[in-house]
Amino acid sequence: MMAAWKAYLQEKLITEDALQTRIKEIGAQISADYRDQDLLLLCILKGGVLFLTDLMRQITIPHEVDFLAVSSYGRAVRESTGVVRIVKDLDEPIDGRNVLIVEDIIDTGHTLNYITRNLSTRGPASVKICTLLDKAERREIDIPIDYTGFVIPDKFVFGFGLDLDEKFRELPFIGVVNPGMVAE
Ligand code: IMP
Ligand code: MG
């Protein structure tokens, strides 16, 4: 039987090898930048989970993790409005901590803009952003990104944490959706 995801795949955009190579580089960079400092990786659920767990294995300095889940009220399916609500807050306070947000993708920037503004009211020592994917040409709000995996074109992608209507997050690569398969 053909795997279900194959019908939705137009093309592989980033292979498993390319992802792992880049995550290793980012892990090394973070390990150097935060050497001898506190480091809290803050993963944005659910999309950031695969990136987080692979990144953790490439960070060679002690660090902690926490999770934040948000939902955005979309104008339409697969569009972000910036009206964001926290549906699962962090377990611990972050005052005085070095927070590094680990996100799957930055698109318009509304979600991350809300999250960074919210976190900065909690008195962290620093808040930086690490995103696997950056759809730079879609940006509506300027977001300073500290670590970027890949800048990608304006195409809807799935796999490696990113979902297609909640499915296919488990795929080890990033694929472009076949536009014929989804109502856009
Ligand atoms: P933003 O607020 O527009 O930056 O939206 C960011 C969020 O939109 C991400 O965290 C994803 O959940 C979702 N998103 C944006 N583009 C894609 C995509 O191509 N595939 C899957 N999810 C996406
Ligand atoms: Mg997300």
The predicted-structure confidence for 26-83, as pLDDT tens digits, reads as follows 999 999 999 999 999 999 999 999 999 999 999 999 999 999 999 876 555 555 566 7
Q: What domains are there in the chain, each with its CATH number? A: 21-73+80-154 (3.40.50.2020)
CA of 150 to the centre of ligand 2 (A): 15
Mind listing the pLDDT tens digit for each residue in 116-133?
999 999 999 999 999 999
pLDDT grade, residue 12 (50/70/90)? very high
Coil/strand/helix, residue 110: helix
CB 150 within 8 A of CB 134: yes
Q: What are the tens digits of pLDDT across the range 144-173?
A: 999 999 999 999 999 999 999 999 999 999
Q: Each residue of 119-152: b (16+ CB within 10 Å) or e?
A: beeeebebbbbbbbbbbeeeeeeebebebbbeeb
Element (H, E) at 157: strand 157-158
- If one residue of 77, 107, 156 were mutated to test the ligand 1 pocket, choosing by the most ligand atoms within 8 A of its CB, it would be 107
Q: Which residue has the higher pLDDT, 181 or 112?
A: 112
Give catalytic residues, as residue numbers.
107
